[in-house]
Amino acid sequence: MKHVVIGTAGHIDHGKTSLVKALTGTDTDRLKEEKERGITIELGFAELILDNVHAGIVDVPGHERFVKNMLAGVGGIDLVMLIVAADEGIMPQTREHLSICRLLGIKTGLIVLTKTDLVEPEWVELVKDDVQDFVKDTFLKDKPIVPVSAHTGDGLENLLDALRMIANQTPAKSETGIFRIPIDRVFTMRGFGVVITGTLFSGSVGVGEQVEVYPKALQARVRGLQVHGEAVEKSTAGLRTAVNLQGLERAEVVRGDIVGHRGELKTTYMLDVHLEHLADAPRPLKTRNRIRFHAGTAEIMGRISLIGRDVLEPGESSFAQIRLEEPIVVLPRDRFVIRSYSPIITIGGGEILDIMPRKHRRLRSSSQDHLKSLYQGDETERLLILLRNSRLNGVELADLTGRLTLKPSNIQKTIQELADQGEVQIIDQASFFSMTTAHFNTAQKNILSFLREYHAENPLRPGAPREEVRGKVGDINEKIFAAALKHLSESNEIAENGAILRLASHSVEIDETLGEVKTKLESVFKNAHFQPPSVEDAFARCAGKGNSNQNALQILIDEGALLRLKDNIIYHRHALREAENLLKGHLSRNNEITAAEFRDLLGITRKHAIPLLEYFDTARITLRLGDKRVLRPDAR
């Protein structure tokens, strides 16, 4: 059976609650104060079967003081009954409620003229003409206008027929989307614990599932579900649902919180939006204005930052960023309403574009272009925009979840399709860590460009240190850098030798003169054994000209023949290997060694003993304990 949610809207005392009772037999005024004062204060709920359509009805308060309660109930409705009393006609909250419904993207509904038993038929026709003129520029243009009397029952059958027709034409909510219920009521039942109610916006939920209450990150288990008083095993999008949550305290949950599956929604303090300023708003809207932000069942204070302008006149629209004073949980494409801080009246609303935006430079055209792309793009294009914005850092599936209306499985499927088309590069299949192919190609070009420049400036060096290359090619994620290197290596464009990178075409060309200096210099350090000369002394013995000594030294270090322990202390690899063997032999016999003992073991001075011991510490051969060293277990 198809499910829809019908909401009432209209001015105080125009007969909304009486009409719902006449249609369903349910009195939605449940509070003592509502009974005593004869007005609706809180949200009320009823159900109505319209042949093959199961309708939940949300009855909202009409008093201007309770518009925020109205907003908490109207967000999840599929069609609206705009109720106008025939004896009063269009009133202030009639106008405000219709504006709210339009801002929230409600697409269909009808108009009900109530209390027709209190006026003459000719008067009903006059009011009908007024209403037609009132709704001519709204989504209710050409929709049925049904006169009824809840008191006598006149017109109720015509109203039911009209509701059947519109309900059958109304698209069903998505059962495959991200599960979420904005909470509009919280209470406890003896023997059951905490129960929340709300309209299931999208997706589905079943008994026994683990859920999370956002934005508080409270974990709970679904102990039971009810739809209009009937216990069910599963509830789907479009149903008024009561959820019995196990593992929570009543005081932990309030109206405005969201129940969803863990990890599928995100908490935010900042939103990119497309904002419409109502034509009948009393004053222009300016950057930094404080507003009341309504989305789902939440009301949060915030401030507006207009993009591309400083002032938004009534009747105009603009992109904007809203910075909230408390966390909220929403999805892109959600609709919202804003009300002025004081006086508290509805002044605008619109569509959420991004829930995790960066701060924009307001007056830059690029900011407007970016938001325009989000506003006009479908979910695939919006996914590509998020990937493009990540540049050389990429995005994991977990980071994309909640920033699109798609479930994680559908995001993964879309990324794979884009990868098959060559638009996206999947860096890590396990986490679906991805980036655009264009940016992946840019990363490779940057690496190649840097290596060309490096080789031109350092022709005698075998290549550039890996981390130096990464630091020079831009702000790049390590996984992406590694993937780019792997791709370039497999295509024979670069070669990797440990931590050294070079172009595949690069080789060090050593002429005969430099070769002779290199041979002499290596011999000087090799023959010096455990007491190497200073760099200056070694150069003096080689008598190389110009930069030949320095070039020969660098080549020997790059090749691994020599190792620099400190600026002026350089050892030949053979001496280091022999010193390591002597050290290990001593420690295997004596378990520990002091600096003085090591000095005597090698027959050297403290000047060389300390750098050598520090080298062995760094190489994870020894472990320093106070003034002694011991052999590491993994070095035995």
What's the pLDDT score for residue 76?
Answer: 80
From the CB of residue 426, how many other CB atoms can be counted at a distance below 10 Å?
A: 18
Domain ranges of the chain: 2-169, 180-260, 268-368, 574-635
**Residue range 250-275: mean pLDDT, rounded:** 96
What is each CA distance from 259 to 481, 524, 547, in whole angstroms?
39, 75, 71
Residue pLDDT, tens place only, 547-558 = 899 999 999 998
* Band of residue 192 on the pLDDT scale cut at 50, 70, 90: confident
Look at residue 66 and tell me whether its pLDDT is greater than 70: no
Which fold does the domain 574-635 belong to in CATH? Arc Repressor Mutant, subunit A (1.10.10)
What's the pLDDT score for residue 263?
Answer: 92
What is each CA distance from 349 to 77, 266, 500, in whole angstroms?
17, 21, 57
Look at residue 38 and tell me whether its pLDDT is greater than 70: no
- The rounded mean pLDDT for the chain is 92
Please choose, from the candidates 176, 149, 162, the residue with its C-alpha nearest in 3D space to the C-alpha of residue 86: 149
What's the pLDDT score for residue 15?
Answer: 87
For the structural domain made of 268-368, what CATH number should be given?
2.40.30.10
Look at residue 207 and tell me whether its pLDDT is greater than 70: yes
- DSSP state string for 333-401: T-EEEEEESSS--EEEEEEEEESSPPPP-TT-HHHHHHHHHHHH--HHHHHHHHHHHTTTS-B-HHHHT
Residue 376 CB contacts under 8 Å (≥ 6 apart), including other chains: none
* Band of residue 567 on the pLDDT scale cut at 50, 70, 90: confident
Phi, psi of 346 (to 5 degrees): -75, 125
* Band of residue 213 on the pLDDT scale cut at 50, 70, 90: very high
Cis peptide upstream of residue 215 (ω within 30 degrees of 0): yes
**Residue range 429-434: mean pLDDT, rounded:** 94
From the CB of residue 603, how many other CB atoms can be counted at a distance below 10 Å?
A: 9
Strand partners, 500: 465, 497
From the candidate CATH numbers 3.40.50.620, 3.30.70.270, 2.40.30.10, 2.40.110.10, the one assigned to the domain spanning 180-260 = 2.40.30.10
Residue 426 CB contacts under 8 Å (≥ 6 apart), including other chains: 415, 416, 419, 432, 433, 434
Contact 267, 214 (CB under 8 A): yes
Residue pLDDT, tens place only, 362-377 = 888 999 999 999 999 9
Rounded to the nearest 10 degrees, the angle between the axes of helix 535-542 and helix 548-559 is 120
Rounded to the nearest 10 degrees, the angle between the axes of helix 573-590 and helix 512-528 is 20
Lowest average pLDDT, out of 36-40, 514-518, 602-606, goes to: 36-40
* Band of residue 33 on the pLDDT scale cut at 50, 70, 90: very low
Strand partners, 206: 234
With H, G, I as helix, E, B as strand and everything else as coil, classify residue 521. Answer: helix
What's the pLDDT score for residue 41?
Answer: 39
Contact 310, 252 (CB under 8 A): no
From the candidate CATH numbers 3.30.750.210, 3.90.1150.10, 3.40.50.300, 3.40.718.10, the one assigned to the domain spanning 2-169 = 3.40.50.300
* Band of residue 56 on the pLDDT scale cut at 50, 70, 90: confident
Question: Alpha-carbon distance 245 to 272, whole Å?
Answer: 33
Same fold? 2-169, 268-368: no
Residue 342 CB contacts under 8 Å (≥ 6 apart), including other chains: none
Question: Alpha-carbon distance 20 to 507, whole Å?
Answer: 86
Look at residue 426 and tell me whether its pLDDT is greater than 50: yes
Look at residue 617 and tell me whether its pLDDT is greater than 50: yes
What's the pLDDT score for residue 450?
Answer: 97
Look at residue 492 and tell me whether its pLDDT is greater than 70: yes
Residue pLDDT, tens place only, 104-149 = 999 999 999 999 999 999 999 999 999 999 999 999 999 999 999 9
Q: What is the DSSP letter of 202?
A: B
* Band of residue 64 on the pLDDT scale cut at 50, 70, 90: low
What's the pLDDT score for residue 61?
Answer: 65
pTM over 0.75: yes
Lowest average pLDDT, out of 172-176, 449-453, 627-631, goes to: 172-176
In the chain, what's the furthest Cα-to-Cα distance? 121
Question: Alpha-carbon distance 632 to 304, whole Å?
Answer: 61
Question: Alpha-carbon distance 148 to 167, whole Å?
Answer: 19
* Band of residue 498 on the pLDDT scale cut at 50, 70, 90: confident
**Residue range 561-588: mean pLDDT, rounded:** 94
Residue pLDDT, tens place only, 270-319 = 999 999 999 999 999 999 999 999 998 899 999 999 999 999 999 999 99
Length of the chain measured in residues? 636
What's the pLDDT score for residue 36?
Answer: 43
Could you tell me what percent of the chain has a pLDDT over 70? Answer: 95
What's the pLDDT score for residue 267?
Answer: 97
Question: Alpha-carbon distance 259 to 267, whole Å?
Answer: 12
What's the pLDDT score for residue 397?
Answer: 96
Question: Alpha-carbon distance 613 to 598, whole Å?
Answer: 8
**Residue range 628-636: mean pLDDT, rounded:** 89
* Band of residue 70 on the pLDDT scale cut at 50, 70, 90: low
